[in-house]
Structure 1
Amino acid sequence: MALTVTYPSFSSLLTCAKRERKFTVHASATSTSTEKVELRVCVNRTCARQGSRETLLTLSGLAPPGLSVVSCGCLGRCGAGPNVVVLPKGELLGHCGTPARAAEVLAWVCGPNFDPGTNLEALGLRKRAEVALAKGNAAEAVALLSQAIELNPYGGLHVLYNTRSAAKLAMGDSAAALLDAKKACEIATSFPQGYISQGDAFLAMEECNSAEEAYATALNLDPSIRRSKSFRARVTKLQEKLMAVNASS
């Protein structure tokens, strides 16, 4: 019996509705446990000169799922920068110009479960792994990321699994890559990059319908990725594979 596969139109994958994101962090800095906590980092000229863009990257890399970290304009008190404001309470924190200080901020926001030293060590291992992966050393990247995962950091664990998924896929182990991508989404259910990684693994395994579903979920969570060249390239590759299956059936 001939296999019939329906492949998606490019526009259908790029027109998903955005879901409401679920907040999962219960922070000491919040007024109630159900409010969404957001850290805004000033990247205006004075704070930027004092290292606020590096602070933004560090906070983003250490933040647990559900804790939003974004850039913003001037918060005042420029002489005490780099400045970070914690919403919704509006607490303004100054002198946030080092990774250690950024980790202290997250420890205050997240409570005693967040250990600054452990989380910074895991982040450092992840950065080394990303460099190794960019150089084509996927096995080294997997080893470094496995060390970081063993530390069980409070923040960024989902990113570690997702990055290891990419490294395992680069090694040709698509089944293991899929497991790591699923683990990332289990930790952070509203993590679009995790679903993209699932789609990549499914695509490598020639499971095109599952890849389509994973990519669509990522778009539903973050419609802005439709503008990403890398994502559009993924969709094009998916279409080509599905067309090839139809042509051979």
Structure 2
Amino acid sequence: MIINPLPERFLVNAAQPQAPVLLLAHGAGAPMDSPFMEVLARELVQQGVSVVRFEFPYMAQRRIGGSKRPAPKADTLIDFFREQIQLVTRHLDCPLFIGGKSMGGRIGTMTAAQQPVLGALGFGYPFHAPGKPAGNRVDHLADLNVPVQIIQGTRDPFGKPEDVQTYALAASVNVHWLQTADHDFKPLKASGLTQAQCITDAAEQAAQFIKNVNENLS
């Protein structure tokens, strides 16, 4: 339950009172109100999860005419994500989860271990740079003791099943695969599925994960 209004820089999609909250970060190249983020937030609310979105400073700068410079190093983003958690927890009285799209999910999982959150989620996790499956974006997932749900397309160039199965992920990390979907959850036409259906599937999986974690803690 939101007990005090959040600052205007947050985007809030509220479900029913006492619903768990997902603090959701955007990916490296698209803002918090991108079409993907809008649909995902709406579908999560339909599944009984409130969503609070925020933007990293480099992305917020683009709205006021800033250059489209790349995202800064992870350490800087982790510090900012931590600040958002602290701010949101001062306004909320409900279970809190964190996560994000692509880069936002990576930073969320890197932040989760030392924060008062119940779990972390990644939607299209960037396991590695495209074409470089031996990257180092999974080291922290090997011994993470916070529950993590990653939802990934089987055609995602940032991490396909054959790549991910070679990584030593902690037992607390679960990966749900969206068949034929890419990094933005767009499936092949031959699958008979649509991007909207894949995002709905992702929201359902995320909500079930959140429900399971809450039940295990109660």
Structure of greater relative contact order (alpha carbons < 8 Å, 6+ residues apart): 1
Flag whether TM exceeds 0.5 (same fold). no
Higher helix share: 1
Q: TM-score, normalised by structure 2?
A: 0.31
